[in-house]
Amino acid sequence: MGWPVLALLARSDPADLRAEQPAGPPILTPLAGTDTSAITIEWAMALLLNHPNAMQKVWVEIDSNVGRDCLVDDSDLPKLNYLQNVINQTIRLFPSVLVILPHESTHDCTISGFDIPKGTMLLVNAWTIHRGHKLWEDSTSFIPERFGEGNEGYKLLPFGGGRRVCLGAVLGRRVVGLVLGSLIQSFEWGRIGPEAVDLAKGPGLTMPKAQPLEAMCKPRQAMIHILDNLC
Ligand code: HEM
């Protein structure tokens, strides 16, 4: 999350914060990174609880690539393709920044046939692009298998784009992957009732769930020796 937060902190005019300026003081970074990452983890869990087969596939992938003698580590993430697909699918359907932060055209340009004068405030609606039926087949469905070719381009922009692209995109993906991976590796998860988890979105800058996620979990037998050592 970029300059609105920075502007708030600095109590300055957002117009002063131009593209050539650095992303802000160190205090901005934790603010921008924690909520977005936490909310993405919550949406991913909600989607997986509604798609137990996908949850099972993540677990099998972790079990065969990482094993049961240690928790998922940073170096394991590149091997966990299905987990990465789940994350991509989550940030496609529920990008924590729905409408990318305002950008400004630095010169006259044309976008999709519209003439945009220099100095225009431009807002990109990631939510609509990510769910566009012309861009995505079965666009509102959770299908982790759809990813893998790595050519999504500007169809998928949960971290924005251009020179003000999210500074913490790599870290954000890594944190989400490690937390999600460890939770699925260590616990068996289930819904609190027979009905599907409600996926309604609530109000807020970073699109939280309308209802905080509630779920059941119990430690996996094979992981108890690892979990015991964490205490
Ligand atoms: C899943 C996690 C995250 C998501 C979905 C996310 C999303 C975004 C988006 C959409 C933007 C606006 C980009 C644009 O204007 O084109 C942004 C900017 C930014 N993000 Fe993130 N972010 C995440 C995690 C993080 C983390 C972990 C950090 C830092 C540790 C971080 C730091 C920043 C900063 C500093 C900016 C402003 C960059 C600039 O204006 O130059 N973000 N983020």
State the ipTM, two decimals. Answer: 0.98
Mean pLDDT, to the nearest integer, of 155-175? 92
Q: 22 CA distance to ligand 1 centroid (A)?
A: 13
37 CB near ligand 1 (under 6 Å): yes
At 2, is the pLDDT very low, low, confident or very high (cuts 50, 70, 90)? very low
Structural domain contains residue 14: no
Domain that holds residue 97: 29-229
Structural domain contains residue 16: no
At 28, is the pLDDT very low, low, confident or very high (cuts 50, 70, 90)? low
Q: 159 CA distance to ligand 1 centroid (A)?
A: 6
Q: 165 CA distance to ligand 1 centroid (A)?
A: 7
- The 3-state secondary structure of the chain reads CCHHHHHHHHCCCHHHCCCCCCCCCCCHHHHHHHHHHHHHHHHHHHHHHHCHHHHHHHHHHHHHHCCCCCCCCHHHHHHCHHHHHHHHHHHHHCCCCCECCCEECCCCEEECCEEECCCCEECCEHHHHHCCCCCCCCCCCCCHHHCCCCCCHHHCCCCCCHHHCCCCHHHHHHHHHHHHHHHHHHEEEECCCCCCCCCCECCCCCCCECCCCCCEEEECHHHHHHHHHHC
32 CB near ligand 1 (under 6 Å): yes
At 1, is the pLDDT very low, low, confident or very high (cuts 50, 70, 90)? very low
Residues 108-164 have pLDDT tens digits of 999 889 999 999 999 999 999 999 999 999 999 999 999 876 678 889 999 998 888
Tell me what the pLDDT averaged over the chain comes to: 87
Structural domain contains residue 145: yes
pLDDT of residue 143: 96
Structural domain contains residue 129: yes
131 CB near ligand 1 (under 6 Å): no
221 has pLDDT over 80? yes
| Total structural domains within the chain | 1
96 CB near ligand 1 (under 6 Å): yes
At 23, is the pLDDT very low, low, confident or very high (cuts 50, 70, 90)? low
Structural domain contains residue 12: no
Pick the atom of ligand 1 nearest to 160's CA. 16
At 63, is the pLDDT very low, low, confident or very high (cuts 50, 70, 90)? very high
Q: 158 CA distance to ligand 1 centroid (A)?
A: 9
Return the residue whose CA atom lies nearest to atom 8 of ligand 1.
159
CATH number (domain holding residue 107): 1.10.630.10
pLDDT of residue 52: 97
pTM score of the predicted model = 0.88
At 217, is the pLDDT very low, low, confident or very high (cuts 50, 70, 90)? very high
pLDDT of residue 3: 34
Q: How many Å apart are CA 99 and CA 160, to the nearest integer?
A: 9
Structural domain contains residue 21: no
Structural domain contains residue 18: no
Pocket test for ligand 1, best of 8, 21, 36 (most atoms within 8 A of CB): 36
